[in-house]
Amino acid sequence: MHAITHSLRRRLLGAAGLAALTGCRWDFGDDCSGWDGSYSYAVPVVAALLDEADDCPENPYYAWDRFEAPPDAYCDGLDTAGAGDIVDVRFVARAGVECSYELTCEGYEECPGGRPLQRDGASVLATAMPRADWQTERAPSIAELSDEERTVLREYWFRAGTEEHSSIAAFHRVALELLSLGAPADLVERATRAAQDESGHARDAFALASAYAGTAIGPSALGLGTDVSLATDLVALAVSTAREGAINECLAAYLAAERLRRATDPAVRAVLARVVEEETQHAELAWATLRWCLAQGGSTVRDALREVFATMTLPRAEARPWPAALEAHGVLSPADECACLSACIERVLRPVAASLLAQTREER
Ligand SMILES: [Fe+2]
Ligand SMILES: [Fe+2]
């Protein structure tokens, strides 16, 4: 992880026009493990439907068939949660034929793969449908995998595919925003190329997901609706670029580098190698865009960026046994994934963000 830390930091500083500030040395360790904390959160209320005469089941673990959705869905369905596990259930109240509970889910903050299109704080993602026209020829070796491992890999890589697929839309929106704010041609062209890259990442991921599924699957229509809004001022563009590009694409590149380091399947390694390089370029584009926004917008933009960077928190997940086959196919355990994301925030993002904000203060 050491190499990716230095290379990403150097490239992002360069993209943000901060090469002059790289004289200082960052002296961090090189350990990507050891988190033992867990992250838990409460899901307000879930309801079980009863017959009039029945009592509320005290322990709904034994009565999940009465719930509107499988229990994991309540934890997994939260925007901020990755793979959620239920660790506690508390009965709250009965109202008519409904029993309400509060679940405590344990999970980890999810880092989107790349830059899915955002609307109202959530990613706009396609769902799965049978189709073979969103694939590349990537073919992982599946002979040694158990059914459970294939299921996990299919879900992981399909989800990754939908995030990459949505990122195509995000970069087309970025190109429109840059055009509407009079940005340099270089930034507009790079955003357009990035949309093309994301299409390649999506097709690669859907090819892997299809191989694990044993049947061709791809994305449904993307639910854009009629109101894809554009950032219409520099502050709005800088804020979305910082969140979705400068931070998230850096995290995606860093995580992909660690997944590549541990993966052994040749097809998965080829997919990840491409993702590492191109997500790094997308992160560089985001930092270059922030530099341009700051040059145009000055202190208003800088104050908004300071707020965004202050919200970066370190995700954690409890260590648990993890099948080697999943790592071989590019999927890290939640604990290792969180450790990598935290390392990226501490060793790359915070130093680069601090340099960017300090330089703009000096320039004033
Ligand atoms: Fe990307
Ligand atoms: Fe991507």
Q: Tell me, in angstroms, the distance from the centre of ligand 2 to residue 27's CA.
A: 30
Q: How far apart are CA 295 and CA 77, in angstroms?
A: 40
Going from N- to C-terminal start, the domains of the chain cover 2-31+111-363, 42-107
Q: Tell me, in angstroms, the distance from the centre of ligand 2 to residue 55's CA.
A: 50
Q: Tell me, in angstroms, the distance from the centre of ligand 1 to residue 115's CA.
A: 6
Q: Tell me, in angstroms, the distance from the centre of ligand 1 to residue 114's CA.
A: 4
Q: Tell me, in angstroms, the distance from the centre of ligand 1 to residue 278's CA.
A: 7
Name the residue with tokens 């294939």: 150
Report helix, strand or coil for 330.
coil
Closest residue by Cα to residue 113 from 35, 188, 165, 174 = 165
Q: Tell me yes or no: is domain 2-31+111-363 CATH 1.10.3470.
A: no
Q: How far apart are CA 336 and CA 173, in angstroms?
A: 33
Which ligand sits closest to the CA of 250? 1
Q: With contact defined as beta carbons under 8 Å apart, do 67 and 60 qualify? A: yes
Q: Tell me, in angstroms, the distance from the centre of ligand 2 to residue 71's CA.
A: 31
Residues 6 or more apart whose CB falls under 8 angstroms from that of 140 comprise: 208, 211, 212, 265, 267, 268, 329
Q: Tell me, in angstroms, the distance from the centre of ligand 2 to residue 325's CA.
A: 23
Which ligand sits closest to the CA of 205? 2
Which ligand sits closest to the CA of 244? 1
Query: How far is the CA of 56 from the CAs of 65, 76, 94, 99, 149, in angstroms?
Result: 13, 24, 7, 6, 36
Which ligand sits closest to the CA of 115? 1
Q: Tell me, in angstroms, the distance from the centre of ligand 1 to residue 92's CA.
A: 43
Which ligand sits closest to the CA of 170? 1
Q: Tell me, in angstroms, the distance from the centre of ligand 2 to residue 235's CA.
A: 25
Task: Pull the structure tokens for residue 129.
Answer: 């449908």
Q: What is the pLDDT along the chain (364 residues), one digit of tens a residue?
A: 556 776 777 778 777 766 433 222 222 223 322 222 233 445 545 566 667 677 777 666 656 666 656 555 666 544 333 445 566 677 777 777 777 777 666 544 344 456 888 887 778 899 999 999 999 999 999 999 999 999 999 999 999 999 999 999 999 999 999 999 999 999 999 999 999 999 999 999 999 999 999 999 999 999 988 778 899 999 999 999 999 999 999 999 999 999 999 999 999 999 999 999 999 999 999 999 999 999 999 999 999 999 999 988 887 777 888 899 999 999 998 888 888 888 899 888 988 899 888 875 555 4
Sign of CA dihedral 335, 32, 327, 201: positive
Closest residue by Cα to residue 216 from 169, 145, 161 = 161
Region of residue 34 (phi > 0: left; psi between -120 and 50: alpha; otherwise: beta):
left
Q: Tell me, in angstroms, the distance from the centre of ligand 1 to residue 197's CA.
A: 7
Q: How far apart are CA 359 and CA 301, in angstroms?
A: 13
